[in-house]
Amino acid sequence: MKMGKAHVIPLSPQASEIFAQAARFRMACSDLVFPGQKPKSPMSDMTLLQLVRGMDVPVTVHGFRSSFRDWVADKTDVPREVAEAALAHAVENKVEAAYRRTEFFEKRRVLMAAWAE
């Protein structure tokens, strides 16, 4: 993560299934789930873009995080703080950051299940 601390993500059942399927293709020389051309490097965003283009669907991988944030705001009643925590955004207000000890894990679990649906 950019901020240098771990970000634990509650996976939806659909995401868990994708990881289970991907495990069958893991390379012994890499701990990455989706390695790039070099086993120690992650798959690039350009690889994902090419994959989507080959599917002939009207979507792009650019702005995926922004799309998630817009969906949360437009389609759910999830509090802003939970949506921001799902994106691993830092709390800008220093006083609020000093007192916020939660990562909203259970609320993010519900949110990620709704996003997967």
pLDDT along the chain (117 residues), means of 10: 80 94 90 88 87 85 87 96 93 89 94 96
Instruction: Quickly count: other Cβ atoms within 10 Å of residue 71's Cβ.
Output: 14
Beta-bridge mates of residue 42? 35
Rounded to whole angstroms, the Cα distance separating 101 from 36 reads 36
**This model's pTM is above 0.85:** no
Confidence (pLDDT) at 5 = 80
Write phi, then psi, for 10 (nearest 5 degrees).
-75, 120
Confidence (pLDDT) at 2 = 65
Confidence (pLDDT) at 36 = 87
Number of residues that this document lists for the chain? 117
Confidence (pLDDT) at 3 = 67
Rounded to whole angstroms, the Cα distance separating 55 from 21 reads 20
